[in-house]
Amino acid sequence: MKLSKRKKQIITKLSTLGTMLTLFVIKSNVALATGIGTAEVQTATDNIKRVITSIAMPLGGVLIFASIVVAAIKMIANANNPQKRAESIGSLAWICGGGVVLGASLIIAGIIINVATNNTGSLLGS
């Protein structure tokens, strides 16, 4: 039992350290972001759009499709066991939730890019 408590303490400390380092990196990037020109902003937004359209959307679609196939196979395999079949059906709700989160994140990323650049390639206020 002490080992389990110790593991929880280590995990808590590591997650706190990871959060702190992430915030430090984000803050460093904000501090170093002064003096960015229009060309750099246009290049960055084009790169973000390219990554979203070429990686995030197809990868998300493939993962959702694969999850649905796995859930369907589990439902077929557990056709005679109502408890396990119900668990498999419940996983479909999580898959739908993941699809909604993926779609919302893509929409929000697009909105942020358009608001930040005013769809002109230059940062607002520059």
26 and 53 both lie in a single domain: no
Q: End-to-end CA distance of the chain, in Å?
A: 58
* Total residue length of the chain: 126
pLDDT single digits (tens) 11-48? 887 788 778 777 766 665 555 555 556 667 677 777 77
Asked if 95 and 41 count as a contact pair (C-beta separation under 8 A), the reply is no
Distance of CA 15 to the CA centre of its chain: 18
**What digits encode the pLDDT tens for the residues 58-99?**
888 888 899 999 999 988 988 898 888 888 888 889 999 988
Show the domain range for 71: 37-126
Which residue type is seen at 107? Answer: I
Indicate the burial class of 115 (C-beta count within 10 angstroms; 0-12, 13-18, 19 or more).
exposed
Query: 85 in helix, strand or coil?
Result: helix
The reply to whether 30 and 65 lie within a common domain is no
Domain count for the chain: 2
123 and 93: one domain? yes
**Same structural domain, 71 and 101:** yes
pLDDT at 114 over 70: yes
* 43 and 25 inside one domain: no
Helix (H, G, I), strand (E, B) or coil at 80: coil
